[in-house]
């Protein structure tokens, strides 16, 4: 902070040095001239103005205030000198003010002021915050999701326009932003990496090398901080994992996993997509499900290579179309431009069940989809969307599965950060089977409707649940008893328990007969009102007494003392 303040100060001195010298020189010459030119006193006797009177006169004359001639009326010679000094000082002030205005528009000066202001805002943060490095579409989506659940964050991005957009974005809290090179460890430190309240780093730039530097710097400078990094390169992912244990998100890898899950367990995929989208998300439509059979994939880059591996892991045959494919042995290949009808015809689209337009050009992908549907209208279509501006075109095309890397990364990171228990639930949920996932969807739909309500975690400790201490220590507390409405305990709360974690043991979808104990962590999804009611039950003794036993007791300490029914 002191270094930045010194930079601003010396920048002002360097740019304003000449104007200040001119002003000082004009003042000095003007004052000296007034002391040397003789005047007359009231008696007509010759007299000279002292340095103090001359400086005082120039102080209010040069600033165009003007109080009159002191200490005596001036002679013609003095007035002639004063006229010259007035014009000189006006020129001097105009030069100084013009230089100051130029300085205010100077890019380096404004950057220094912005950096000083940013450092001040970050240093004043008194609550935990996340450092988001890269404020592109992924960073913006994630920022709004984090803001919705009350999480603070700081933004670092190479683009000044994106950082300036923070001032007009509709965030509930003030979001400090810095335009700078994320590959510079000093810039990361200035952005808050070493701040004691920094609780995590998110490397979300569109440059894998920069994300690697961010992950490496965070691991070396703050090895205690969790790091989440985005990459589309398996080699970069391997290098990232050499520094600590960052959570690496590869959208190409995740899309293949999700597509495989949709093939095996459609309901599990639907539940995962719904919960990853966060509160307020609509229940995804089942859509058309892919069937077993052959697939045709256009574009064998990093995305195509990973998706081919995932499809083959599901036991599916894949035919690849690419101009210069570098494929492993045993792979069926059609060399050529997929936009040519003859090339598509050689791929056997009429016999395939699925088609993937996976190039890095949205226009090409859209044209490939049209051509493939013309040959086989029954194809299951999956595609990759590279630019946000292409979203309306892909929406009009109505593809069955669409990969938008920025959205997929944002959803997965949100699931990891919003509630760690949610991430564990999503990881272990597919193993429970498709029928179980369908039952959970039905329960959520009954409690929340088709729009997902709140997803939250509760911890049954003496601090977070003081009103449940004795009930939990008794050892026979049931989850179903806890999930009763404080308004009418005969009605259950509109909340669905998704996960119960006790030490290292994890129970997915616990039923109402599950026994609770001190230290348990529970993951719920339900209406916001259910969350408030559950909090009241956990923190207010009178509420918990009614919910758990059905007895109504006075809520105030005085009435409890009068009736002899103090709750402990």
- Same domain as 461, residue 533: yes
On whether residue 447 sits in a domain, the answer given is no
Q: Based on the fold, state whether residues 363 and 245 are members of the same structural domain.
A: no
Q: Does residue 309 sit in the same domain as residue 390?
A: yes
* Phi then psi dihedrals of residue 106, to 5 deg: -70, 135
- Distance between CA atoms of 56 and 34, rounded to whole angstroms? 11
Confidence of residue 3 (pLDDT cuts 50, 70, 90): low
Residues 405 and 488 in one domain: no
Structural domain contains residue 384: yes
The angle at the Cα of 388, spanning 384 to 391, to the nearest 5 degrees, equals 70
Residue span of the structural domain in which 24 resides: 2-108
* Last residue in a domain, options 365, 393, 418: 418
Looking at the 3D structure of the chain, how many domains does it have? 4
CA distance 502 to 260: 31
The set of residues, in sequence order, having a beta carbon less than 8 Å from that of 563 and lying 6+ positions away, is 553, 554
**Does pTM surpass 0.75?**
yes
The string of pLDDT tens digits covering residues 377-434 is 999 999 999 998 999 999 999 999 999 999 999 989 998 888 889 999 999 999 999 9
Q: Is the preceding omega at residue 71 within 30 degrees of 0, hence cis?
A: yes
Shared-domain flag, residues 284 and 399 = yes
Q: In CATH, what number is assigned to the domain containing residue 56?
A: 1.10.287.70
- CATH number of the domain within which 373 lies: 3.40.50.720
508 conformational bin, left if phi > 0, alpha if psi -120 to 50, beta if neither: beta
Residue 511 lies in a domain: yes
Residues 305 and 242 in one domain: no
Tell me the pLDDT band of 566, cut-offs 50, 70 and 90: very low
Q: How far apart are CA 414 and CA 143, in angstroms?
A: 9
**Residues facing 455 on adjacent strands:** 525
pLDDT in tens, 537-560: 999 988 998 999 888 766 555 445
pLDDT, residue 567, reads: 46
Q: Is 258 a domain residue?
A: no
Q: What is the CA radius of gyration of the chain?
A: 35
Please say which residue of 418, 441, 473 terminates a domain: 418
Neighbours of 302 (CB within 10 A): 17
- Choosing from 73, 108, 143, the residue where a domain stops is 108
Percent share of the chain, pLDDT over 70: 95
Predicted confidence (pLDDT) at residue 287 exceeds the cutoff of 80: no
Contacts of 462 (CB under 8 A, 6+ apart): 469, 518
Is residue 428, in this structure, part of any structural domain at all? no
The per-residue pLDDT for range 288-318, each reduced to its tens digit, is 777 778 999 998 888 998 898 888 888 889 9
CATH of the domain at 529: 3.30.70.1450
Query: What is the mean predicted confidence (pLDDT) over 179-188?
Result: 94
Quick one: average pLDDT of 55-79? Answer: 84
Q: How large is the average pLDDT for residues 449-474?
A: 91
pLDDT at 301: 87
Residue 429 domain-assigned? no
Of all residues in the chain, what percent carry a pLDDT higher than 90? 61
Say if residue 70 is in the same domain as residue 143.
Answer: no
Rounded mean pLDDT, 529-536: 94
What residues does 499 pair with on adjacent strands?
Answer: 508, 523
Q: Residue 559: its pLDDT value, please?
A: 46
Task: Assign residue 68 a region (left: φ > 0; alpha: ψ between -120 and 50; beta: otherwise).
Answer: left
* Average pLDDT, integer, range 342-359: 90
What average pLDDT is seen over the chain?
A: 89
Q: pLDDT value at position 218? A: 96
pLDDT (average), residues 195-208? 95
pLDDT tens by residue, 5-47: 567 778 788 888 999 999 999 999 999 999 999 998 888 888 9
**306 and 366 share a domain?**
yes
User: What are the backbone angles phi and psi of residue 252, rounded to the nearest 5°?
Assistant: -65, -40
**For 556, which DSSP code?**
S
In angstroms, rounded to a whole number, what is the distance separating the alpha carbons of residues 142 and 137?
Answer: 8
Q: Is residue 159 part of a domain?
A: yes
481 and 364 within one domain: no
In a domain, 507, yes or no: yes
Residues 49 and 104 in one domain: yes
Q: Residue 241 contacts by C-beta under 8 Å, 6 or more apart in sequence?
A: 248
Mean pLDDT, residues 458-480 taken together: 91
pLDDT in tens, 204-259: 999 999 999 999 999 999 999 999 999 999 999 999 999 988 999 999 999 999 88
Q: Are residues 377 and 243 in the same domain?
A: no
Is pLDDT of 568 > 70? no
Q: Which helix (H) or strand (E) holds 131?
A: strand 129-133
Residues 408 and 289 placed together within one structural domain of the fold: yes
Instruction: Find the mean pLDDT for residues 148-160.
Output: 93
């Amino acid at each position: 902070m002191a270094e930045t303040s010194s930079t601003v100060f010396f920048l002002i001195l360097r740019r304003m040095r000449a104007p200040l010298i001119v002003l000082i020189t004009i003042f000095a010459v003007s004052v000296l001239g007034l002391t040397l030119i003789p005047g007359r006193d009231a008696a007509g006797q010759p007299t000279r103005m002292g340095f103090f009177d001359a400086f005082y006169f120039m102080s209010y004359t040069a600033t165009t205030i003007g109080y009159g001639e002191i200490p005596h009326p001036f002679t013609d010679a003095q007035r002639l000198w004063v006229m010259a000094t007035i014009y000189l000082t006006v020129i001097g002030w105009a030069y100084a003010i013009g230089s100051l205005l130029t300085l205010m528009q100077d890019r380096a000066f404004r950057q220094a002021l912005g950096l000083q202001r940013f450092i001040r805002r970050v240093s004043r943060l008194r609550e935990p915050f996340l450092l988001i490095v890269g404020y592109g579409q992924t960073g913006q989506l994630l920022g709004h999701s984090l803001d919705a659940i009350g999480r603070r964050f700081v933004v670092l991005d190479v683009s000044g326009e994106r950082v300036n957009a923070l001032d007009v974005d509709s965030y509930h809290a003030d979001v400090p932003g810095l335009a700078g090179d994320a590959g510079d460890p000093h810039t990361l430190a200035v952005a808050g990496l070493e701040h004691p309240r920094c609780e995590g780093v998110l490397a979300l730039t569109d440059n894998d090398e920069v994300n690697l530097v961010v992950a490496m710097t965070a691991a070396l400078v703050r090895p205690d901080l969790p790091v989440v990094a985005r990459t589309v390169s398996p080699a970069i992912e391997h290098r990232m994992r050499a520094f600590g244990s960052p959570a690496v998100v590869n959208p190409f890898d995740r899309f293949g996993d999700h597509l495989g899950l949709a093939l095996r367990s459609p309901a599990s995929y639907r539940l995962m997509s719904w919960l990853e989208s966060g509160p307020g998300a609509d229940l995804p439509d089942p859509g058309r499900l892919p069937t077993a059979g052959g697939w045709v994939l256009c574009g064998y880059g990093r995305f195509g290579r990973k998706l081919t591996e995932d499809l083959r892991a599901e036991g599916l045959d894949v035919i690849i179309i690419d101009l210069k494919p570098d494929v492993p042995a045993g792979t069926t290949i059609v060399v050529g431009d997929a936009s040519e009808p003859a090339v598509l015809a050689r791929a056997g689209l009429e016999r395939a069940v699925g088609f993937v337009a996976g190039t890095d050009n949205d226009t090409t992908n859209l044209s490939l989809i049209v051509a493939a549907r013309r040959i086989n209208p029954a194809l299951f279509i999956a595609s990759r969307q590279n630019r946000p501006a292409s979203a309306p075109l892909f929406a009009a095309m109505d593809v069955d599965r669409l990969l938008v890397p920025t959205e997929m990364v944002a959803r997965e990171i949100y699931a990891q950060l919003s509630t760690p228990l949610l991430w564990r639930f999503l990881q272990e949920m597919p193993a429970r089977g498709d029928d179980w996932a369908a039952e959970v969807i039905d329960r959520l739909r009954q409690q929340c409707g088709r729009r997902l309500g709140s997803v939250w975690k509760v911890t049954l400790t003496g601090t977070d649940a003081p009103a449940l201490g004795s009930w939990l220590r008794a050892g026979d507390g049931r989850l179903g008893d806890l999930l009763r409405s404080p308004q009418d305990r005969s009605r259950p709360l509109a909340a669905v328990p998704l996960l119960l974690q006790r030490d290292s043991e994890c129970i997915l979808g616990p039923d109402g007969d599950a026994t609770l104990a001190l230290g348990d962590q529970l993951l719920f999804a339900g209406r916001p009102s259910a969350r408030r009611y559950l909090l009241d039950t956990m923190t207010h003794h009178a509420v918990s007494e009614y919910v758990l036993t059905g007895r109504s007791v006075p809520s105030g300490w005085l009435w409890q003392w009068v009736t002899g029914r103090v709750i402990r």
